Amino acid sequence: MALQYDIYFPGHYGKTEWTARNTLKFALYGALFIFAIIWGIQGEALDFYDAFLWILSFFVIEMNIFNFEHRFVKEDTTQTHQ
């Protein structure tokens, strides 16, 4: 849901909203990463592999959103300086 919010309501960098979104995403990714490690230690190979794929997929999605936001901010900055 945090990724969907990023797509439909891009925030402004440095604002409270942006900080709250990134804190929430960091906590959720951290929890998934910790669960993956625990499952790996316990020998739950399928759960570990599944969590690893989720982490990898979300990383790719986050990079695409970051590139989109960076492009959006760059275009906005270019238009205001003309």
For residue 10, give the H/E element and its range. Answer: none
Q: Where do the domains of the chain lie?
A: 41-76
CB 69 within 8 A of CB 15: no
Residues 6 or more apart whose CB falls under 8 angstroms from that of 18 comprise: 11, 12
CB 70 within 8 A of CB 62: no
Q: What is the pLDDT of residues 48-64, one digit of tens each?
A: 999 899 889 988 888 88
Amino acid at 32: L
Q: What is the pLDDT of residues 13-37, one digit of tens each?
A: 667 877 888 888 889 889 988 989 9
